[in-house]
Amino acid sequence: MVGAVGPSFIWKGGEAETFVIFYLHKIQKLFQSDVFNSIFQIEPEKEIPQMKKSVLSYVLVGLIVCCMGAVAWAGGHGHGSKAPKKVGILLVAFGSSEASAQVSFENIERKTKAAFPNTPIRWAYTSHIIREKLAKQGQQLDSPEVALAKMQDEDFTHVAVQSLHTIGGEEYHDVRRTVGAFKIMGGFQRIVLGYPLLATQEDMERTVDAILKTIPKKRKKNEAVLLMGHGTHHPSNAFYAALMFQLQQKDPNIFIGQVEGYPELDVIQPMLKAKKIKKAWLMPFMSVAGDHAKNDMAGDEDDSWKSILTKSGIKCEIVMKGTAEYDEFVDIWVDHVKGPMGHF
């Protein structure tokens, strides 16, 4: 019996898992509440600072481990070796509330279904702000923690969790911690996390080829291509510079800058000036052409890349398509799903 801390359940079968789902939803609501924001001094409508995000991530994972550990101890119920095998895929993205960006996710799901036609697919978004915005629009998207708990409640025994991030940065490692926690719980017979877009040298080479194939055909060789990545303070930000180095071995007028990492636009600008670039094609190097692409890259505000470059005398052409709209990039993510699925 649970007693005073919550609803009274006899710990058996699906009831125990229902208890966990109940509390996961409560925890998720608590993390998004005004009281919680006040305690941790988090301003509404802003992303949680990284240090606090890391602390809260560990708290959430710890609470889940405790809940699930109690279930396993009290009822002996779970997805042990005797449970019928049921394989599922969880696609995990940062998320976007932009309606136009959904085409990217639709393309990923279409390609994943084509590769694994008999495997159910679920989705999760890592951004709580995006989930809240979508909830106000009537769309319910789960966090990875809640999505996995629901999959356990649906009797999945083997789960391939596929990151749809570009690099193995902060968001990817948050997902990795979550997957690790579910491994500790023993809630699934197997749960394996797939690589982000850029993880190996082969990924780098395939991504270079994908970029070269998706650059507009009418772009001339003396015109620059400037890709906007998100960027991060995580060490994996180095992937962007490494990718630009490999790109420039094949086309010296392709550059990669970041919104929130190195190199920023002010580092790229002198390179463009030194090459006497008069025209640049601006393209998002993110899975979706969302808020950053529309505002930071192509917006009319003075601090957008388009405005800054235009004022410096460089004519800008905008390509408003996320990488996940191109099959060349999506094929890399889908191939990464094959890694976890190969363990099942």
Model pLDDT, residue 322 = 96
Q: Which is more confident, 41 or 15?
A: 41
* Residue 328 CA neighbour count, 13 Å, CB half: 14
Query: Is 201-321 assigned to CATH 3.40.50.300?
Result: no
Residue type at 98 in one-letter notation: E
Mean pLDDT of 21-35: 51
Q: Whole-angstrom Cα distance, residue 299 to residue 306?
A: 7
Model pLDDT, residue 15 = 40
| Continuous H helices in the chain | 13-31, 34-39, 50-75, 102-115, 128-136, 144-153, 170-185, 201-214, 238-248, 265-274, 291, 305-311, 327-341
Residues 6+ apart with CB under 8 A from 337: 89, 112, 115, 116, 160, 162, 194
Q: Whole-angstrom Cα distance, residue 78 to residue 80?
A: 6
Mean pLDDT of 28-50: 51
Cα angle for residues 335, 283, 323 (degrees, 5° grid):
15
* CB 162, CB 90: distance < 8 Å: yes
Quote the tokens at residue 237.
């930000």
Residues of the chain with CATH 3.40.50.1400: 201-321
pLDDT, one tens digit per residue, over 285-300 is: 999 998 899 999 999 9
In this predicted structure, the answer to whether residue 260 has a pLDDT above a threshold of 60 is yes
* CB 148, CB 88: distance < 8 Å: no
pLDDT band at 83 (very low <50, low <70, confident <90, very high): confident
In this predicted structure, the answer to whether residue 143 has a pLDDT above a threshold of 80 is yes
* Residue 229 CA neighbour count, 13 Å, CB half: 27
End-to-end, the C-alpha distance of the chain in Å comes to: 36
Q: Which is more confident, 169 or 101?
A: 169
In this predicted structure, the answer to whether residue 50 has a pLDDT above a threshold of 80 is no
pLDDT, one tens digit per residue, over 202-256 is: 999 999 999 999 999 999 999 999 999 999 999 999 999 999 999 999 999 999 9
pLDDT-above-70 percentage for the chain: 76
Quote the tokens at residue 247.
């790109």
The pTM for the full model equals 0.78
Mean pLDDT of 3-14: 34
Model pLDDT, residue 290 = 87
Q: Whole-angstrom Cα distance, residue 150 to residue 155?
A: 9
pLDDT, one tens digit per residue, over 243-254 is: 999 999 999 999
Quickly tell me which residue has 């390609």 as its tokens. Answer: 111
Average pLDDT over the chain, rounded to an integer: 85
pLDDT, one tens digit per residue, over 117-142 is: 999 999 999 999 999 999 999 999 99
Catalytic positions: 230
Model pLDDT, residue 17 = 46
* CB 71, CB 77: distance < 8 Å: yes
In this predicted structure, the answer to whether residue 12 has a pLDDT above a threshold of 90 is no
In this predicted structure, the answer to whether residue 280 has a pLDDT above a threshold of 70 is yes
Quote the tokens at residue 129.
């702000």
Model pLDDT, residue 16 = 45
Model pLDDT, residue 61 = 58
